[in-house]
Structure 1
Amino acid sequence: MPLADIRKVQVIAPNFKRRLSGVTSTIIQLLPVQNRQGQHVASLGPGLPSTLPFIRFRDLAQLWAAPADGQVRVWHARRNLEMLPAIVMRDVLRMKIRVVFTSASQRAHTRWTRWLISKMDAVVATSARTAAYLHVPSTVVLHGIDTVRFSPPADRAAAKRACKLDSAKKIVGCFGRVRHQKGTDLFVDSMIRLLPQRPDWTAIVAGRATAPHVSFENDLKARVAAAGLSDRILFVGEHTNIADWYRALDLFVAPQRWEGFGLTPLEAMATAVPVVATDVGAFSELVETGQHETGSIVPRDDLDAMTIATAGFMDDEPRRVSAAACALARAAEQFSIEEEAAKLNAIYTRLAGGHCLTTSV
């Protein structure tokens, strides 16, 4: 792991939980982009890959001094346990830092969390829905994705064959952890309803069931077998090359019952795949349902609505083709990870007293 020179570090991104989470994934994906844009961002804490620049806990003693090319550093917290030490460093130890907090929560905060947030120098919300739960002013910065990694295939039939899928079939997919919260059962039940009348379609579930959810997955497989669809509703497990699996799809379904933000619809859209998604997380802010349709939004936990919306795309190829083109354009123009990094840098620059924290944005 490359040790960063604390004298040059302008932004610190702490990660104080070893377990992989959405916050950890955000840091892993965002930091390389921020540094490519000229921001000097370093991570702090466990559970991160060796490719990210980092500082050591003992380097924090140097936060009493200003960075080499600025007046203050920015500490970008994404959890309660990352806000608290920053408040102590800034207000008790009088270190030269400003503190940003990113909130992805879509529920009422506890009194303790509200107090911590009230002490921030700036607050970022990952969606308008998240911002509505905050009691302080915030800036909405939607997550972006790597539109190079997630990009459409030159030949979708070849992409299907690469995943050992039948290239003559149209594929509808649901990706993510297999569990009740993610609505995997809603996807499976809708496919059990839809596939018998649509022999040209196959469904895939890509994702892992962790130990507490194995029985849930086994029950779904039993339902599929009882319906005689084990060869058409495929559980393909977890894959590190998930972008390749998106390229094999003709339609994506995001059936979650709850989500903090949710990147899967964006990943599908960037791969030129239309999306049927529930109205949770930021999905309604990602998926366009108007004139430039990229998919449909349906109420959470509503199997009938999901089935009807999914059938509407499965049975209308011109609609799918049009929505796929709009999805690709929307993802590329509005949801690149480079755009997310640039918007965060504007916040950092303001906190640093107008001193620009990048040379290229």
Structure 2
Amino acid sequence: MDVANWHASDDQRRSEARTALGIPSKTEIVVYHGRIEVYRKGLDMLMDAWQHICEERPGRNLRLLLVGTGSDAEKLRQLIAKKQLPGVIWKNEYICDRTIIQRYLSAANVYTLPSRHEGFPVAPIEAMSCGLPVVATDAPGVPYIFPDMELSGGIIVPREDSTALAEAIGSILDNQSWGHELGKRARDRAEKFFSLEAIGKQLREFLLTNIG
């Protein structure tokens, strides 16, 4: 990741992003960006978790921001309608422009990755580079990104457990200072382990050790 070109979000950057997206400044936002594949990406679990989050916090201005599209777009649309989920904002299209992706991430309070299957996911590292705390499932590849869990800026929950997902996301929404601290740790982790400089250093050390 070119972490230097992904800017950590602060109150001003978040406010500017929300204004650009037409979202009220006092809203509490959970964001997911990636392919819309309901089973693989665990979006059915996220919908269950979101329903629980909203039911537990009546009167709060909550939004679930989904960014992306895919083969299951219609299936997800039907799921949202069937559950009558409140506060869902969905940008149903592929977005490759890094500036636009950053705007969506900067508008949020917390990023979530509810996947059942992953390889090595890049999306949470993009969120970390924007200084967002991450709540993710223990899909393959994810524990490597957050080896020390909260100390690495992320909370990992079991796959197939929408209640645990809801509780983890809710714990950040309910404690703003904790969310800020996790976001700082996430940004630090991205800089130290996933930046161009960090990967270059690791590659150099590997080559020197194995060739030498």
Flag whether TM exceeds 0.5 (same fold).
yes
- Which residue in the other structure is 2:144 paired with? 285
Q: Does residue 319 in structure 1 map to residue 186 in structure 2?
A: no
1:148 aligned counterpart, secondary structure: helix
Shift of residue 347 of structure 1? Answer: 4.2
Structure 1 Cα separation of the partners of residues 123 and 73 of structure 2 = 22
- Paired AA for residue 74 in structure 2: S
Q: Does residue 201 in structure 1 map to residue 62 in structure 2?
A: yes
- Cα RMSD after superposing both structures: 2.0
Structure 2 Cα separation of the partners of residues 157 and 178 of structure 1 = 27
**Which of 174, 184, 198 is residue 32 of structure 2 equivalent to?**
174
Q: Which has the higher contact order (CA 8 A, sep 6+)?
A: 2
Structure 1 Cα separation of the partners of residues 73 and 171 of structure 2 = 32
- Which residue in the other structure is 1:151 paired with? 7
**Which of 219, 237, 241 is residue 92 of structure 2 equivalent to?**
237
Shift of residue 178 of structure 1? Answer: 0.8
Tell me the TM-score normalised to structure 2 length. 0.85
Q: 1:330 to 1:293 in 2, by over 3 A?
A: closer
Shift of residue 177 of structure 1? Answer: 0.5
1:243 aligned counterpart, secondary structure: helix
For the 8 Å contact 2:73–2:92, the answer to whether it is kept is no
Structure 1 Cα separation of the partners of residues 199 and 22 of structure 2 = 35
2:65 aligned counterpart, secondary structure: strand
Structure 2 Cα separation of the partners of residues 222 and 316 of structure 1 = 30
Aligned counterparts, 1:184-195, within 5 A: 184-195=43-54
Shift of residue 319 of structure 1? Answer: 1.1
For the 8 Å contact 1:174–1:184, the answer to whether it is kept is no
Shift of residue 182 of structure 1? Answer: 0.7
For the 8 Å contact 1:191–1:233, the answer to whether it is kept is no
Shift of residue 345 of structure 1? Answer: 4.0
Shift of residue 314 of structure 1? Answer: 1.3
Tell me the alpha carbon deviations over residues 94-122 of structure 1, each in whole angstroms, 9 at most, x when there is no partner.
xxxxxxxxxxxxxxxxxxxxxxxxxxxxx
Structure 1: runs of 5 or more not aligned: 1-144, 355-361
Aligned counterparts, 1:296-307, within 5 A: 296-307=155-166
Q: Does residue 331 in structure 1 map to residue 190 in structure 2?
A: yes
Identity of aligned residues (%): 25
Structure 2 Cα separation of the partners of residues 189 and 279 of structure 1 = 18
2:118 aligned counterpart, secondary structure: coil
Aligned counterparts, 1:119-130, within 5 A: none
Structure 1 Cα separation of the partners of residues 69 and 118 of structure 2 = 17
Which of structures 1 and 2 has the bigger CA Rg? 1
For the 8 Å contact 1:174–1:252, the answer to whether it is kept is yes
Structure 2 Cα separation of the partners of residues 185 and 223 of structure 1 = 12
For the 8 Å contact 1:209–1:217, the answer to whether it is kept is no
Q: 1:256 to 1:293 in 2, by over 3 A?
A: same
Aligned counterparts, 1:54-73, within 5 A: none
Q: 1:305 to 1:332 in 2, by over 3 A?
A: same
Tell me the alpha carbon deviations over residues 299-321 of structure 1, each in whole angstroms, 9 at most, x when there is no partner.
11211111111111111112112
Shift of residue 283 of structure 1? Answer: 1.4
Bigger share in helix: 2
Tell me the alpha carbon deviations over residues 1-47 of structure 1, each in whole angstroms, 9 at most, x when there is no partner.
xxxxxxxxxxxxxxxxxxxxxxxxxxxxxxxxxxxxxxxxxxxxxxx
Shift of residue 323 of structure 1? Answer: 1.0
Aligned counterparts, 1:44-55, within 5 A: none
- Paired AA for residue 29 in structure 2: I
For the 8 Å contact 2:49–2:165, the answer to whether it is kept is yes
- Which residue in the other structure is 1:344 paired with? 203
For the 8 Å contact 1:174–1:187, the answer to whether it is kept is no
For the 8 Å contact 1:257–1:278, the answer to whether it is kept is yes
Structure 2: runs of 5 or more not aligned: none
Structure 2 Cα separation of the partners of residues 220 and 269 of structure 1 = 29
- Paired AA for residue 89 in structure 2: L
Structure 2 Cα separation of the partners of residues 259 and 289 of structure 1 = 18
Q: Does residue 161 in structure 1 map to residue 22 in structure 2?
A: no
